[in-house]
Every structure is written in structure tokens, then in C-alpha cells.
Amino acid sequence: MLKYLSASVFTALLLTACSEPKGVIISPEPTDLTETTVGKWILDEDGKVMFDPQTSGLVVLDGQLVTIADASADFTQQLKLHSISPDTATLSASTERFSFSRDVRRSCFYSYLSEQPDLEALALDPRDSNVIYTVTEDATRTGTLSPRCETKYEDTGSTDYPTLLVKLTRKDNGDVEMSDVRPLQFLNDLEVGNFPNDGIEGLTMAEDGTLYLALEKDKAGQPRIFTLSIDENFFSSSDFATVSEPDLQLPSFASGNHPINGLALYTHSTGASYLLGAARNDNELWVIDTTGSKPTKRIPIIFDVAGDQNCEQYTMDNSSMEGLVTIGDTLWIINDPWEKNYLKNATCEAHKTRYEDLAPLLFSLKINDVWFE
């Protein structure tokens, strides 16, 4: 693993091993640029909240924010894309359940993908707005692969059941098809580890087809970012697609869980490209230089809930931000209600049932040039 770390992180790890007490963040410390964002409940046209969608990922399609549900969501929310108006936080539409192409039906993974797949994150292909990528995480709830498939896909370099990159294709009638699937492989030298529910949680794609994938934690408890190059022939193979690791200056930690739970790509007015990472456990936005020449900047975020006729504006105890995407100079964030902690937010009694329903909120934040200095 060490040969994949940047020189600065490697040095920091050595210094910490020698001198830092347990629990101290190695590098870098959060900035003092704390931001506050005020969230709105996502409501349908009848004023009802989204019931337990476990929102994972966020992209922009036709001016709408689009999200997806994971395997822990209510069954009625799964295997669909959900569209939200950014101006009003209104749930404007949900697709029918995904259909499946012939290739997916004939693959080793159809049984899992057609039942209750743990779909995490979304990335829009900037070369074709009808193509969206998602990725699977925890497959421990499914049965094992057939003996033939298990032999072919056992060398994952990570979890027993392989991580799957899934291509979604929008049809002219508005339906969405799971059109292609390919398993991902992590070389053993990457030391990713076997953590079924701490896998890939963030996706975003650059104009040249570079797909960035954010891993919650590796064997050493560190968040990681990997890449794949997606060309027109990528899904013509059913073999493993092996990820690469760019030399980015990510934060490193001495202890604790500090996952990246969402990714967005942002191009600054200078032409420089940055990854914006949702560090859910830390309530931080990570601003990551894609060239690896600058250390990641950690921006603390305070998440408030907008006041209404029943509740004054208040700060959330646990927001669990999950998906993020930019529109112009605005960063949009959606949270993934964490059942274990969500009721801690119910400081206003009138909102308690919304937390019990595991209803998400939509947040916006003006992009600040200071983040990129």
C-alpha cells in the first residue's frame, strides 16, 4: 500500500507512528472556513415527505436533481431514479423500476441486481446525458454466485462478492434500463481489505471518461479514491475492470472512521479541477486537487433545518450528507438518513415523525473561492 501514497502522506504516517498520540488527525487539520447550510424537507406535490428512501448520490438531469435508493431503503423506493426540483425541494417524479438488458440478464449478477441490490452513488456521463453509472456495495444479503461465476470472480482484491459498476441507460419513453454491468478488481497491493458495508460510496466522471470512485475505508481505516477509464468498449468485456489510484493528497487519520460518502467534480474559473468529497462522519466538505499538487482542504459544515410555522430554525445533530453535485456556483447536498442517529435531530417535536420516517433534506451552499486557494 505504501507505494501508492503520496510522499507527503507517507512522511506524515511515519512521523505519526513515531510521535503522535492515538486519535490525533495526521494531515491536514480542518480549516477555519466553517460554512452553514439550511436544509429543506423534500416533499411531494401533496406535501408529504419521502418515506425512507436512503438517498445515495446526486446528479443533475434536465435541470432536476436526481438521486437513487440503496438496499436499506423502503422497497417501494428501490431500483428507481428520483427527481427533485432544486428550487423548491419538491419530489417531482420517480421512474418505474429499472428494466434489464439481455446482457445483464445473462450475467452472473442478474439475481442480485434484480432483487435488492445495494446501489450507492450516481455519476452522469458528460458525453451522453442518457447514461448514468451507479455502483454496488454490500452484497452480503444475497446468495452466493454459481460455482462457475464464483471461480471466475473470486479474486476481487476486496469483498467476497465483487463490487459491480452498473450502467443505467435512459430510454425515450422515460424508462431506465440496467444496460451493462462489470465487476471491479482491486490489486492486492492496494490493501483495500474486506469491508462489505464500507466500500465505494462516491462516483463522479470527468469529460474525458475518467470515473472517480471514493472508498469509505481501506484495511488501514483510511478513505481512498480510485479511477477507471470508461471508453465505448468498456462494457464489451465481462472480465474484471481493475481500478487505478491517482496520486492525490487525501487526509490521513490515526484512528476513527472518516469515510467519503459522495463525490462531485468541479472546474474552477482558473480551469483547475477539484473533487468535492462528502465526509459524512466529520460534517466536512473535502476539496481535493485532482492534480495532487495541493493538500486536501477540509471545510467544516453546520447543517441547519429551515424554520416553519411549527419549528424555529435549528441545527442537526447528525445530517449524514451523502450525495452532492454542482449547478453553476451552487453546491447541492442531499443527506442519507442514518437510522441509528437520525432521531437525535428531533429537537422540535413537530418534526419528529419526519425523522421517524427517515425523510431526507436538500441543502445548498454557495461555492466559495476561498476553498480553492
Q: What is the DSSP string of 185-201?
A: E--GGG-----TTSSEE
What pLDDT shows up at residue 138?
93
Q: What is the pLDDT of residues 218-235, one digit of tens each?
A: 999 999 999 999 999 999
CB contact set of 47 (below 8 Å; sequence gap of 6+): none
Mean pLDDT, residues 119-134 taken together: 97
23: exposed, middle or buried (Cβ count in 10 Å: 0-12, 13-18, 19+): exposed
The secondary element (H helix, E strand) that includes residue 181 is strand 176-185
Report residue 16's pLDDT band, with 50, 70 and 90 as the boundaries: very low
Residue 141 scores a pLDDT above 60? yes
Helix (H) or strand (E) holding 7: helix 7-19
Of 28-42, 49-63, 104-118, 197-211, least confident by mean pLDDT is: 28-42
What CA–CA distance (Å, rounded) separates 307 from 305?
6
pLDDT at 259 over 80: yes
Q: Which of the pair, 11 or 146, is modelled with greater confidence?
A: 146
Q: pLDDT (tens digit, 9 = 90+) per residue, 292-301? A: 999 999 999 9
Other C-beta atoms closer than 10 Å to the C-beta of 193 total 17
> Tens digits of per-residue pLDDT, 323-335?
999 999 999 999 9
Q: How confident is the model at residue 244 (pLDDT cuts 50, 70, 90)?
A: very high
Percent of the chain's residues with pLDDT above 90 = 90
Q: How many angstroms separate the first and last alpha carbons of the chain?
A: 30
Q: State residue 105's pLDDT score.
A: 98
CB-based contacts of 362: which residues, under 8 Å, 6+ apart? 39, 40, 42, 65, 84, 86, 89, 332, 333, 334
Ordered by start, the domain boundaries in the chain are 39-364
CB under 8 Å to 150, separation ≥6 — which residues? 144
Fold (CATH) for 39-364: Tachylectin-2; Chain A (2.115.10)
At 142 the pLDDT is 82
